[in-house]
Structure 1
Amino acid sequence: MPRLRRNRGMTALIQAQGLTIQRPGGHETVLHGVDFRIASGEIVTVVGPNGSGKSSLVRALLGHMPLAAGRVARKPGLRIGYVPQRVLVDTTIPMTVRRFLSLPRRVGDRDAAQALARTGVEGVEARQLTQLSGGQFQRVLLARALLHDPELLVLDEPTQGLDQPGIVAFYKLIEEVRRQTGAAVLMVSHDLLVVMRASDRVICLNGHVCCEGTPQHVSSAPEYRALFGAEAEGTLALYRHHHDHDHDLHHHHHAGAH
């Protein structure tokens, strides 16, 4: 994986070593011994079945979740734009797109208009959030995340609820944003078709790192095929999640690969 070796010489925006997370009470380990890094300009996608610890990893990397073991280092002053998995909008309280973009930090009209234009929803400032389609709302969330010139854009399952054309369009937009801004992108995904093709590196997670590398490497790895089913071999066009592999077997395999 020459791309990975090349990235080791680049400055990491976030780097984690031995990251271990437990559920409250400490009776169940969510993630164990995860090493992670993301460098400037990379698109890194984290995939894995439900309950594999994807969102926990993101929250820990952002400093929003305590660690049972390990450490996370972030570049000092790192500017992060975050698109959360779910945003609950109170339908009883009127909230325009323009007002939403100024929460929690106020932004000027010109900056707001430019951010909306960049994400393909120009002119919606006066619309109520509740009037937006799912795709429009995701683009408004992305515009809000881009307002303060992030060095790292973090998206937690941003295409949930979108149809396939909407997913394709959204990820093309993410690629364009990366190209224009140079921001790194860390994406948690439940969709393996488009996201993986856009990624420089894919991390397959299931309580630990099952496998990691370029999309081509991961899609042909035995750990990935065991996790997502035999039909995953040689293809990125995969939607069904199968979880039938042996943790210890693949954890040892992964440890030996480093």
Structure 2
Amino acid sequence: MSALLSARGLEFGPREAPVLRDVSLHVDPGEIVTLVGPNGSGKSTLLRLMIGALSPRRGKVTRTRGLRIGYVPQSLVLDASLPITVRRFLDLPLRVDDDAAEAALAQSGAGGLAGRQMAALSGGQFQRVLLARAVLNRPQLLILDEPTQGLDQPGQAAFYRRIAALRSEMGCAVLMVSHELHVVMSASDRVVCLNGHICCEGTPEVVSAAPAYRELFGTGTGGQLALYRHEHDHAHEGGGAAHHHHHPHAEG
């Protein structure tokens, strides 16, 4: 099974102080890969290299021929004075038929919002509409850049459950950047920690126990991860289950 998208030996940024160095990453069909790392670690840059919006100074990115990518940006600032309905927003940049629009909204948890003004949506509704726009072309790969910034913890958890459900329905792979580790990891098949280079990668359990991960994120996050898995999956993971602190906002 060949990867949908892979990067080998990427380097980006000035030679003397590269933002990314020797980064290799792949996403296989149907898997959920989460990219985590502190601010300034190059996560958004790596996503932009992966989709071809930036070119690496060294290394190369390979995409499967004709790969359909759905992209959910970190946030989108719309002019609030500009009246535009959700339905009309889905027609940008290319018009879509009503059935496709309705299906995408329903799949993204935004059913019933078609007639609403974009400016009147809550943060969570707005994110679901961005997601609907990303799934319109039945992507084989959904790429999300910190899609739940600004949502509260239940809102984040609901959004990630929605992503996991979409993956099962559409069979698409998912590559997402996040720092809401407590929520994101339970949905991931593979977690990749980035800090200019890849520090560690593996299943959520492996990564959350890795010294490099602990060094980047401290054990508070280990506590969050255990707490989330414990509440939602009833799986008693080791590694930090003792820290039952609630940090609603992981700073990072």
TM-score range, shorter chain: 0.7 to 0.9
| Residue 112 of structure 1 pairs with residue 101 of structure 2 | yes
* Residues 1:18 and 2:6 are matched in the alignment: no
Q: Could you tell me which residue of structure 2 aligns to residue 198 of structure 1?
A: 187
The residue aligned with 2:229 is none
Structure 1 unaligned residues grouped into runs of 5+: 1-9, 243-258
The CA deviation at 1:28 is 3.2
Structure 2 counterpart SS, 1:36: strand
Q: How far does residue 105 in structure 1 lie from its aligned partner after superposition? A: 1.2
Q: Does 1:149 align with 2:150?
A: no
SS state of the match for residue 96, structure 2? Answer: coil
Aligned-partner SS, 2:225 = coil
Does the CA-based 8 Å contact 2:182-2:221 persist in structure 1? no
For these two proteins, the number of residue pairs brought into alignment is: 231
What is the rounded CA distance, in whole Å, between the counterparts of 1:141 and 1:103 in structure 2? 11
Percent identity between matched residues is 58
Structure 2 residue aligned with 1:80? 69
Distance (Å, rounded) in 2 between the aligned partners of 1:114 and 1:88 = 25
SS at match of 2:137: coil
Mapped to 2, the partners of 1:108 and 1:179 lie a distance apart of 24
Q: 1:4-29 deviations in whole A, cap 9, x for unaligned?
A: xxxxxx21000110011105xx5531
Q: Distance in 2 between matches of 1:145 and 1:231?
A: 33
CA offsets per residue over residues 116-168 of structure 1, 9 Å max, x none?
11112212111110000000000000011000110000000000000111011
| TM-score using structure 1 length | 0.86
CA RMSD of aligned residues (A): 1.6
Helix, strand or coil for the counterpart of 2:19?
Answer: strand
1:230, distance to aligned residue in structure 2 (A): 3.7
Alpha-carbon distance, 1:233 to partner: 5.1
Change in CA separation of 1:99 and 1:27 when aligned onto 2, cut-off 3 Å: farther
1:112-131 to structure 2, matched below 5 A, reads 112-131=101-120
Q: Report the CA distance between 1:234 and its aligned residue.
A: 7.3
- What are the residue-to-residue correspondences of 1:1-258 with 2, within 5 Å? 10-22=1-13, 28-232=17-221, 236-237=225-226, 240=250
Q: Distance in 1 between matches of 2:219 and 2:83?
A: 49
Q: 1:231 to 1:92 in 2, by over 3 A?
A: closer
- The answer on whether the counterparts of 1:219 and 1:235 sit within 8 Å (CA) in structure 2 is no
User: 2 CA distance for matches of 1:107 and 1:232?
Assistant: 42
Alpha-carbon separation, structure 1, partners of 2:159 and 2:118: 19
Find runs of 4+ consecutive structure 1 residues off by over 3 angstroms: 230-235, 237-242
Give, in angstroms, the shift of residue 235 of structure 1: 6.2
Deviations 1:72-118 (A, max 9, x none): 00001000000001211012221111111011111001111111111
Change in Cα spacing, 1:138 to 1:69, as seen in structure 2 (3 Å) is same
TM-score, length of structure 2 as denominator length? 0.88
Q: 1:232 to 1:173 in 2, by over 3 A?
A: closer
